[in-house]
Amino acid sequence: MLEKAAFALYLVVLCTGPLFFGGVGYYAYTFITLGILAGSVLLLAANVTKERKTGSYQFRFPSTPLNIPFLLLLLFLIFQLLPLPLSLLKSLSPEAWIIGEKSLPASLVVSSSETFGAWFSLAPYIHPVRMSIVRLTVYALFFIGLLQMLTSTKRIRTAILCILLLGSFEALYGMIQTFSGNEHIWWVKKIYYRGEVTGTYVNRNHFAGLMEIILMLAAVYIGALGEGKRKSPSSYALRAPLRARLSRLLRGEAGFNKKALVLLSAMVMGLGLLFSASRGGMLGAAGGLLCMGALFVFRQGHRKKGLLVLVLFLVISIYALRMGVEQPLERFRTFDAGFEVRARYAQRAFQLFEDFKLTGVGVGNFRYAYPKVQAPEDTKAFIDHAHNDYVQFLAEAGLTGFSILGLGLFYFLYRTGRLWRQRHDPFAVILGVAPFAAMAAIGIHSYSDFNLHYMTNVLMILSVMAVGHGALHLERHHAYEKSLLLFRVFPLRNRGLLLLAPLLLVILWSGASAIGHFMAESHYEASTRAKFETVTESSRQHLHQAIAWDPGEAKYWWNRSLRLREQRAIRLKNTDWSDQDRRRLQDDLIKTLETAVCLNPMKEEYHLRLAWEYTDLWSEAQARKQWMPAADLSMERTAYFAGTNNPYLHVMMGDYWLMRSKTVYPGNPLWEAALTKARWHYLRNLSIETGPDRARMRDQIVKNIWVHYPDQEFVDRILGEY
């Protein structure tokens, strides 16, 4: 009963997760995570059995090709989080050591003559890596658990049916919304990708990724439907009574109807994929079907299955031509331009990898580390993903993590392929092709997109891998079926407890982290609903609760600093605000920003705002020895991380150094150095900006210079030919 409940829970999560806007949002993430963790607890309980002979309890765990890769990846992610001695950190990742030094509070660095002996981790920002551990735990438990439960033809067919129903609904819903002109995703009006099918996804490419995965499963399932259990000898069929022969005839008709329904489902998904206008999705599906056809040709007796693939393609093409395929194919005319942009993203991501070659910048940290290497052509674009899963994971995990993942997948394909060559049962041989075709499809698509960063799509590809691998382990006889999947059995008192206890601890920790993240995001979202002009006690309280639930998330501290600034602006209008109250709030603001910098030192905006807040203490006695040098250090850190994604930052840095030059006499070396830095940042901005934006920013820079140095000759000295 426990195993059946876990199987049902897995399928519910797998097939309802994409309905939550493709699985994006903290609510969908939490639902999927907690659902799979709950199912895994039920499955672990079912795996604790009592031995009949001795009466002692034992724990069994399935042996799959991905057990060791999952474990090694988990240990690697944990290693990315561990604080390391400086000597070891410098040898493994010199850039991580440099960033770690820049995470220390600037006010303490400039005021202390002692060398800080703090240890830093390989990942400059820990929170994304911690959440990646939760996701990896969910993926591992889902694949291993689902593979264990696919022990019969009935369960395999049930899983496939649920997946096909999901794919058909997504495609039909998306096409109805698009072609009816009422383009919504549930109750939300579509803003992007109008005129293109996205199902319940917010991104057409990720919808296409789901379609191509399920389409591969549908294509092989059409061929597998005709392969029942071993047929009786023909002599027995001739001697069978009329009732038995009629029963077999009706079963054959039912089988034909099932084939027709699955073929119709595949056609619908193929049309949905086509009208998503996703070039990567179309190419990925074509590559997956090519892989499928090649494998069928390789096996004698299954070459006719390639004809089914061809028929599927022809039917989809005929319907597509009747419905109008011009718009999807139109996107291939801009293929070179789109590929050029994504190739530039990947090239810059590879530069990031070169800074963190061995161990990476931290899984999940790409969006924070990328601005430093971002190309000038992508000015003002905030790029969260490299649109190339291979290069992005290489930058985040380095050669070590990339090798673990690559070798692990290769080992899975090797084990599955070897088993596929040994099997002769048609049902197993046909379904055994599904993992190869689906992985080929998503592998091609991932070269130009980031499908594998969507939790729902990763779970779907893992489910197809489990279905194919489980079918290859299914031994079917005349009267019964059994799975040949191997289990490791351990006495519960000894090694079994050593394995079960850590598994339960990881599940509990992952569940607690998911719940904490959900509660924090809920409070954070509630706090951001208030307008900046009306700072309420309720919004501040919600932000305080968000920090309490998840204190490692830097954006909560950053937004707390924004609230404190708003509070300061309001309080300044009151005449009864004492200097002591003002200083207390300023200290709180600085400490909040220093915490944000400590958590995520790669965010250049944090350093910039902290520098300006330090300058607010200019009137303090220790300003020249502590606060102004701390502001200078923070501004230098800003320049280190700024890159070219936000040219306005360079204006603000230029303004700072221009202001800083007025705090010293012209004979002071700092005066000339400050002006040189101001000029460099201003010119950097003007070299990035183009067209009207450049003219507008030049006028603004001239006004800023004129405030401090009302002299046209000085303006010409700073800007020169610009």
How would you write 403-454 as a 3-class SS string? Answer: HHHHHHHHHHHHHHHHHHHHCCCHHHHHHCCHHHHHHHHHHHHCCCCCHHHC
The token pair at 600 is 């995520």
> Within 13 Å and on the Cβ side, how many CA atoms surround 674?
22
For the segment 370-374, the average pLDDT, to the nearest whole number, is 92
pLDDT per residue as tens digits for the range 600-624: 999 999 999 999 999 988 878 777 8
How many angstroms separate the CA atoms of 314 and 306, rounded?
Answer: 13
Confidence of residue 250 (pLDDT cuts 50, 70, 90): very low
pLDDT per residue as tens digits for the range 661-693: 988 888 888 999 999 999 999 999 888 888 888
- What single-letter amino acid sits at 78? I
pLDDT at 669: 87
Mean pLDDT lowest for which of 216-230, 445-459, 701-715? 216-230
pLDDT at 335: 47
Burial class (CB in 10 A: 0-12, 13-18, 19+), 199: buried
Confidence of residue 10 (pLDDT cuts 50, 70, 90): very high
Sign of CA dihedral 162, 166, 167, 173: positive
The token pair at 272 is 């949905």
How many angstroms separate the CA atoms of 198 and 184, rounded?
Answer: 10
Which single residue is written with the structure tokens 């530039």?
A: 344
pTM > 0.95: no
How many angstroms separate the CA atoms of 438 and 324, rounded?
Answer: 27
The token pair at 454 is 């969507």
For the segment 218-223, the average pLDDT, to the nearest whole number, is 89
pLDDT at 247: 52
The token pair at 671 is 């005066």
- For residue 347, give the 3-state DSSP assignment: helix
Average pLDDT, the chain: 87
The token pair at 212 is 């191509």
Burial class (CB in 10 A: 0-12, 13-18, 19+), 98: middle
How many angstroms separate the CA atoms of 314 and 307, rounded?
Answer: 10
Q: Are 197 and 276 in contact (CB under 8 A)?
A: yes
pLDDT at 570: 80
- For residue 341, give the 3-state DSSP assignment: helix
Confidence of residue 310 (pLDDT cuts 50, 70, 90): low
pLDDT at 230: 46
pLDDT per residue as tens digits for the range 147-205: 999 989 999 999 999 999 999 999 999 999 998 888 999 999 988 888 899 999 999 99
pLDDT per residue as tens digits for the range 545-555: 999 999 999 99
The token pair at 641 is 């991380």
pLDDT at 77: 97
pLDDT per residue as tens digits for the range 375-427: 888 887 888 899 899 999 999 999 999 999 999 999 999 999 999 999 888 89
Predicted confidence (pLDDT) at residue 711 exceeds the cutoff of 90: no
For the segment 508-516, the average pLDDT, to the nearest whole number, is 96
pLDDT at 246: 46
For the segment 438-448, the average pLDDT, to the nearest whole number, is 92
For the segment 22-30, the average pLDDT, to the nearest whole number, is 92
pLDDT per residue as tens digits for the range 67-88: 999 999 999 999 999 999 999 9
Q: Are 703 and 672 in contact (CB under 8 A)?
A: no
pLDDT at 490: 87
Q: In terms of pLDDT, which residue wins out, 508 or 332?
A: 508
pLDDT per residue as tens digits for the range 253-283: 555 678 888 888 988 998 899 888 888 888 8
pLDDT at 235: 40
Beta strands in 188-270 (DSSP E): 188-189
Percentage above 70 pLDDT, the chain = 88
For the segment 116-123, the average pLDDT, to the nearest whole number, is 86
pLDDT at 274: 86
* Contacts of range 518-525, beta carbons closer than 8 Å, 24 or more positions apart: 518/26, 518/27, 518/29, 518/30, 519/545, 519/546, 519/549, 519/550, 520/545, 520/546, 520/547, 520/549, 520/550, 520/553, 520/556, 521/26, 521/546, 521/550, 522/26, 523/549, 524/555, 524/556, 524/559
pLDDT at 476: 72
Q: Are 535 and 570 in contact (CB under 8 A)?
A: yes
Q: In terms of pLDDT, which residue wins out, 396 or 293?
A: 396
> What is 280-318 written as a DSSP string?
HHHHHHHHHHHHHHHHHHHSTT-TTHHHHHHHHHHHHHH
Burial class (CB in 10 A: 0-12, 13-18, 19+), 224: buried
Predicted confidence (pLDDT) at residue 224 exceeds the cutoff of 60: yes
Q: β-strands 57-62, 487-491: how paired?
A: antiparallel
The token pair at 192 is 């992007």
Mean pLDDT lowest for which of 403-412, 467-476, 528-537? 528-537
Cα distances (Å, whole numbers) of residue 171 to 212, 313, 364: 11, 16, 30
Hey, how many other C-beta atoms are within 10 angstroms of the C-beta on 710?
A: 9
Predicted confidence (pLDDT) at residue 97 exceeds the cutoff of 60: yes
